[in-house]
Amino acid sequence: MRLEHRQVVRQLRLFERVDDETFEWIAALGFLQTFPEGTVLHDQGRETDFFFVVVDGQVEMTIAHNGIEATVAIFSAGHAFPLGAVVLSEKTPGMARAASLARVLMVPASAIRDSIGKSPSLMRALMEDLAGQNRTFVREIANQKIRTGSERLASWILQHAGAAGIVNRLPFRKRTLASLLGMTAENLSRAFATVEKHGVLFRGSTFTVVDMDALQALAKPSELIDAA
């Protein structure tokens, strides 16, 4: 890995507290790869040869069954995948696909498994990332079971919008957002219409919160369900 790439990777949350010897070992074996939107990084149900860490952009994890595909997670900068499959040397539960132009660190999965037993700092970093992913999945299960589609969209907007009056761009396609929120495209369109009545202005792929109080009244934010 080139020096400038090492400096960027070193600053990622996953590696910032990993000991120097382990990081240099990972950096010597790993490399950065840029993937255009839509590129498949690994397929569902297969053993993976690589451990991936998002450096820039977004990576979508989907699971398909009986002709239906659903988005179950979006990985952003600093997040690793497929963490469970790499650590346990098992088949991947889903497919990973670039949801935008994405730059990703790729490290041989075997090197990560070898390093875990030798480096307490790497083990701690991976445990923290795995715990964070688990918490995110539990929150999303609660979100989809407890809230209506409009409430889920309102909550997502609250978590991803800037201050009132700031124009925000959707980080990925609307079909990806619909699947992530557990909705069909048609249900998402209806949810957009409802949320527009509660303080959000949509224009193509952008949205602006114009009435934060009205949006919060619809979303009913919860510190136990919503990401910090």
Parse the chain into domains and list their residue ranges.
3-144, 148-219
- pLDDT of amino acid 70: 93
What angle, rounded to 10 degrees, do the helices at 149-160 and 185-196 form? 70
Instruction: Output the pLDDT for position 225.
Output: 87
Weakly modelled stretches of the chain, pLDDT under 50: none
Element of type H or E holding 126: helix 120-146
Q: Please state whether the predicted TM-score (pTM) of the whole model is above 0.95.
A: no
Instruction: Report residue 188 as tokens.
Output: 């998402």
User: Where does residue 3 rank: exposed (0-12), middle (13-18), buried (19+ CB within 10 A)?
Assistant: exposed
Provide, for the chain, the percentages of residues in helix, strand and coil under a 3-state DSSP scheme, each rounded to the nearest 5. Answer: 45, 25, 30
C-alpha separations of 55 from 19, 25, 44, 180 in Å: 19, 18, 22, 21
Residue with tokens 């700092």: 121
CATH of domain 3-144: 2.60.120.10
Whether CATH 1.10.10.10 fits 148-219: yes
